[in-house]
């Protein structure tokens, strides 16, 4: 939720434009109504977040983590998502070729996601 809150802040919204989960919903479910698109985007975003949290828990099994370990995990999620998965769906260019403001906003959001994940696990 903190990541979503960050991404909905004015500077991030201006930098990101249409949120990636909505772009992904359009790519995998073309031609849907705005309501269906919104539901799909929410499910995609929460599913990735929850799945990432579960993966982090498995990777850290039995060990203490913390904000730094979590932020590194968030960096990994961002790198895999925005260098490989999202470009493969044709949603955005790879992060290294994307617009600097969007790349920075998405990276910040994923670092925040990971840091909070690490702090509470």
Full DSSP string of the chain: -HHHHHHTSHHHHHHH-S-HHHHHHHHHSTT--HHHHHHHHHHHHHHHHHHHHHHHHHHTTTS---HHHHHHHHHHHHHHIIIIIHHHTTSS--GGGS-HHHHHHHHHHHHHHHHHHHHT-
Is pLDDT above 90 for 3? no
* Residue 103, number of CB atoms within 10 A of its CB: 20
Mean pLDDT of 93-104: 95
Kindly tell me the burial class for residue 31, based on how many C-beta atoms sit within 10 Å of its own C-beta (0-12, 13-18, 19 or more).
Answer: exposed
Q: What is the structure's pLDDT at 27?
A: 93
Query: What residue numbers bound the domain in which 110 lies?
Result: 2-119
| 39 band by pLDDT with thresholds 50, 70 and 90 | very high
pTM for this structure? Answer: 0.89
| 4 band by pLDDT with thresholds 50, 70 and 90 | confident
Residue carrying structure tokens 């060990």: 63
Number of domains in the chain: 1
Q: What is the Cα–Cα distance from 18 to 86, expressed in whole angstroms?
A: 14
């Amino acid at each position: 939720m903190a990541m979503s809150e960050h991404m909905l802040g004015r500077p991030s919204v201006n930098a990101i434009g249409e949120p990636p989960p909505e772009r992904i919903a359009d790519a995998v479910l073309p031609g849907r109504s705005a309501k269906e698109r919104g539901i799909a985007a929410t499910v995609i975003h929460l599913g990735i977040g929850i799945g990432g949290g579960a993966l982090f828990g498995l990777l850290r099994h039995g060990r203490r983590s913390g904000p730094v370990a979590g932020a590194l995990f968030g960096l990994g999620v961002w790198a895999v998502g925005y260098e490989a998965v999202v470009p493969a769906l044709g949603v955005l260019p790879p992060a290294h070729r994307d617009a600097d403001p969007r790349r920075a906003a998405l990276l910040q959001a994923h670092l925040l996601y990971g840091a909070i994940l690490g702090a509470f696990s």
